[in-house]
Chains A and B, each alone.
Chain A
Amino acid sequence: MKRLILLVVSVVLAFSAFGQEKIIIRIAGHSVDKPVKEALIRDVVAPKLPPNVEVVFEPVVDDYKQWLLTMLAAGTPPDIFYVDVYWAEEVVKTGRVRALDEFLAKSEILKKEDLIPVLVDAFTVDGKLYAISKDFNSLVVFFNKDMFDAKGVPYPSTDDDWFTFWDKVRRVHNPPEWVGICLNPDFARFLPFAFAAGMPFLNPDGTAPFARPEAIAAAEWFSAPIREGFGATAADLGVGWPGAAFVEEKAAVVIEGGWLIPPIREGAPLMKFGTTFLPTFGGRRGNYLFTVGYGMPVDEILPSKRPDLVWKVIELLTSPEAQSYILSIGHAIPSRAALLSHPVLASPADPFQEAMRTVFIATGLPGTVPFSFAPVGSIYHVVVAEALTKIFTGELSPAAAMQEAAKKLNAELKR
């Protein structure tokens, strides 16, 4: 009898397993994330899902935004996709991205209050949240302690304003061994300082703000290392980006985000370096928030047809466990506010963990704005980049270049 019951039970179980439909949840992200995301899915996400659900990470090697827009337009997006704060609003405006407030309100694992507020704002469009930030970055000052010690210059600190900071950089400049700072004509470095100086994104009448005195003052200050010769661009130092100049010890100071931590760990693991916040102007500090979140398409084009399961995967990917995992391997700085008490951030053991802590705190400081150019679009930074290039190469004075940039953007805004 027992045997018969066992047989019946196994047959029923076997059939029910066959009867369960296999559900595949596709996540598309940057190809560089593949190893980490696959490990995260295997170790943290998959064990907490029903056995018939499989989560697959699909790396995208192409221009991600271009790929996503065409997928959304064709109605064939993945279940979960990355949303970069840089183009979040554009993608949301397609009407094919689902608002997540309804899920968030019901969630046990993830509450709005768990996330760092600026990260929630970054993905909020017209009062609705469209993506859950997975990690983030912001700008900090990286400095080489050995170079500062060699020149007897005090380290840059959180007390520095624009002028005391340049003074230190000028004094640590030591050609031909190293330059004070490696700085590119990069709008993403310049604009936070211009905002700190009081330049608004647009003038109240909707015109370009670049000809305002505070914008010109910021351009004059920002370009000083190149114009006065205590800094150099990456190309002048024969490297691809300022971070490489820092790793190769060709520059004493660079302004970068947490993405510089892995290259230092790999290229100069023994380097004595420190990090601090960007210098202030009149007590104000600016910064950019770079972040990428998980979003999902509206139900009509959701391939798995299971929004509840897709949300569950997003919850698991941003759960405290998953984010601790990301933090402990030093891959990125995760988005939960509570992680400040994680040992890596609470009591950093080395300069790398200290750098992560600086970035984490810098992001929450007042003056940090999302790295987004909505509603103007990329033409906003195209004209700024051109102006900075002309200033750096000496073709135009800061005032003339910024006035030209204002004129150009105004012409574009009128279109």
Chain B
Amino acid sequence: MGKGAGLSRPPFMSWLRGPRRNELFWAFLFLLPLLWTLGVAFAYAFFRALWWSFCDYDLFASPKFVGLANYAKLFADLHFLKALFHSLSFAVIVTFTQTFLALLLAIALNQKIRGLTFFRAAFYTPSILSSVIVGLIFIWFTYRRGVVNFLLTVARNYHPYFLSFLGLVIVMQSTLVLWGRKRGFPVRAFDPVYLWISLFVGGVGTFFLGHFRLIQPKSMPPVDIIWLETAEKFLGIPRPLWAIMALNIGTTVPTMMLFFLAGLQDVPRELYEVAELDGASWWAKLWYVTIPALRPVMFLVITLGLIGTLQMFDQAAITSGVAPLDSVITLAYYVYWNMFGAGGLPRVGMAAAAAIFLAVLTLVVVLIQRRVGIGEKAW
């Protein structure tokens, strides 16, 4: 190594003095608000919570290092184990159902039908309402004499009408389609013109069946399901949690549907044209073109769904005023409950340990989903 080699090396931190100095300065300046927010609201808060999760701390006395004792205590706490079970079952059931329904809805709203914009706006409404308001309305709906039980009572008492209407429509539609095909027309199973005729015949037929008392409403006692104020379980999951699942699905599906709708716009039209040339049916196009093309969106929807459901807090908090704590407690609510709800001074150590556990659990569940479930590549 001669002197020359030493001379050719750029001086230490030369970029700070070079022509790019200005550029870097401005870049940092513009990034500063975001970096500051990230630093304070995320990094600082995260590391502080991580440190507290190893401490016995109540916000007032100085934190006392206790090692992994808080984590050990978590797993000995029945409320935590219940919260863990509830969060995991909530995440799996809600994510699966909402993804499926959002996809169905997106495909339906991607058709060229009349009043499409109205339907898109109407279906999206639940997502723009405050979850607290929706939660409160939901509580009213699920009273013992509330709307949900009323509709179930109506459905139970008037089921002969629904069944006869449905039966008449199916019989009429099948007859029309078979008749059409017999005459050599390429009639589809849900041909719109035939469907209107079938619906009309179904309606008129049911009216006359009712009029001549061939079918009658049942007079069964009102449906008396207690949705929230109960500790009863269905399939091992508390009934109030099922109710919250229904609420959560109803309010999240529209947002997820928007993602799918956006994804559907991006599926290349040529693929459908090629499939049509090959004589692919509607189902074949859906199964072999649409769904594979939507895989990146589906990955996003499932990942956001898992994160959102594992961290679900507000709906549990609102319904906990009505439903027993053990029936609606989730991990995120458990964190809050330890901090402010359990009485006594805040159990910051336990709350922080549960929060860190929840963060790690969310990460692991998302990674497992990515590895064994739906990945982010289309084909």
Contact = CB atoms under 8 A, between A and B. Distances in A.
B230 A395 contact: yes
Interface of A is mostly: loop
Interface stretch (A32-40, A90-98, A160-168): A90-98
Interface in B94-146: 143-146
Given A238-B143, A395-B230, A395-B232, A378 B77 contact: no
A93 B345 contact: yes
Nearest to A74: B59
Contacts of B346: 69
Interface string B73-94: 1001110000000000000000
Given A73-B59, A96-B60, A389-B324, A378 B341 contact: yes
A376 B143 contact: no
Nearest to B344: A377
A66 interface: yes
Contacts of A371: none
Contact of A379 (B60, B230, B324, B342): B342
B11 interface: no
A23 to B, nearest CB: 28
Given A390-B231, A395-B230, A395-B231, A63 B340 contact: yes
Contacts of B342: 377-379
Interface string B217-246: 000000000100111100000000000000
A93 B226 CA distance: 40
Interface residues of A, number: 37
Contacts, number: 75
B171 to A, nearest CB: 41
A66 B146 contact: no
B226 A393 contact: yes
A70 interface: yes
Given A373-B343, A386-B326, A415-B77, A95 B60 contact: yes
B144 A236 contact: yes
Classify chain B's interface size.
20 to 34
Contacts of B230: 389-390, 393, 395
Nearest to A392: B229
Interface string B133-166: 0000000000111100000000000000000000
Contacts of B209: none
B201 interface: no
A295 B226 CA distance: 42
Contacts of A392: 229
A96 B60 CA distance: 9
B324 A385 contact: yes
B325 interface: yes
B343 A379 contact: yes
Interface string A375-400: 11111101001100110110100000
A238 B145 contact: yes
A29 interface: no
Contact of B60 (A94, A377, A415): A94
A65 B343 CA distance: 10
B174 to A, nearest CB: 44
A84 B363 CA distance: 41
A238 B284 CA distance: 50
19 contacts: A69-B346, A90-B345, A93-B345, A94-B60, A96-B60, A235-B144, A235-B229, A236-B143, A236-B144, A376-B343, A377-B343, A378-B343, A382-B324, A389-B231, A392-B229, A393-B232, A395-B232, A415-B73, A415-B77
Interface of A: 63, 65-66, 69-70, 72-73, 87, 90, 93-96, 185, 233, 235-238, 373-380, 382, 385-386, 389-390, 392-393, 395, 411, 415
Interface of B: 59-60, 73, 76-78, 143-146, 226, 229-232, 322, 324-326, 340-346
